Amino acid sequence: MKFLIAPLCSDLTRPLEVTRCVNSIRDQEEHPFEWDVKVVCNTNDDAYHKTIDDIISEHEVIRTESNGGNGMGHNSVLQLFRDRYRDEGYTHLIMIDADDLLYPCAFEVISDILMLAPETDYCGVGSNADSVRRGPSGNPNGSIELIPGIHLHSNFNWKYPVPTYPIYAGIENGCPGGEVTLFVSANAVERDLHHLEYPMIPDDFTHMLWGIKHHLLGNLQYVSTDTTDIYVYDKTNSVGTTNQPEFKFDPKQWPAEAVDYVRDNFSDIVGVTRAHLPFLTLPPVLFPGEKCDFVRDQLLFFDE
């Protein structure tokens, strides 16, 4: 196995966030598979690209001039993988927004998933990934205040039965959003999984639905997991897309062509639940205190 890990940054991603993300990859405690890092800088700004290229000196920085629309950056990462995986020997892709980061045991957990389900082509977090949020705690699954006003929302070491709620209940019943994609295989990427390219609506929703649809068609193996010991979604970035008041989970506010696209492509998987998909429950690696200490240190990495 050889993974391409592609942190994705745009003009809104602070250079220190990109450094922090890359460091979280390089500082993994275990390295059970080969991997390369290529930072995808999705920008039309020459100065921003040069800044990222200068600070990420040990890894290739690839510029894709496709920003200006939601989902375009992620789709450019998928296309990069399609273009290179044969020549460079990659079997899997990890996409990560460069303002997010990995726990130091992430590679270990990913390796465990592939030992338990070696044919996995698409792995997503079936319950919410850990997230860092400003403001009061509102997570019923628990949260801990790391520094004043900033909480780590996490299931911590709680384990739940396979959730039975519908993943997609039809466009008329709303959009729950996508889920964190831990990794995809070359086979999955060749199925033309892609993000929705419309501004201010959940772009990863269709990426997940395509994966599930191809699983049900027998084209790939989609596996969900409840592990929260891999990905930390840093939602404290006030300029991030999902933090904007105009961000729309409600399809009633979407452009008609986006609604038609989802309805036309995914009406045949309405009512599919987590219980219809393989679901892995893995033992926790980090204790709650260890997770909080790690994330707190990463937040204090910034000299604000």
Q: Residue 162 and residue 281: Cα distance in Å, rounded?
A: 9
Among residues of the chain, what percentage have pLDDT more than 90?
A: 60
Structure confidence by residue, pLDDT tens digits, 284-294 = 899 999 999 99
- Could you tell me which residues come within 8 angstroms of residue 58 by beta carbon, excluding any fewer than 6 positions away? none
Q: Residue 130 and residue 164: Cα distance in Å, rounded?
A: 21
**The pLDDT of residue 68 is above 60:** no
Compute the CA torsion angle 115, 119, 121, 125 (nearest 10 deg): -40
248 pLDDT tier (thresholds 50, 70, 90)? confident
Strand order of the β-sheet with 222-225 is 60-63, 34-41, 2-9, 92-97, 181-185, 122-125, 222-225, 279-280
**The pLDDT of residue 69 is above 70:** no
- Could you tell me which residues come within 8 angstroms of residue 53 by beta carbon, excluding any fewer than 6 positions away? 41, 61
Structure confidence by residue, pLDDT tens digits, 192-221 = 899 998 888 888 889 999 999 999 999 999
Structure confidence by residue, pLDDT tens digits, 70-125 = 788 999 999 999 999 999 999 999 999 999 999 999 999 999 999 999 999 999 88
Q: What is the mean pLDDT of residues 147-166?
A: 82
Give the chain's domains with CATH numbers. Answer: 2-299 (3.90.550.10)
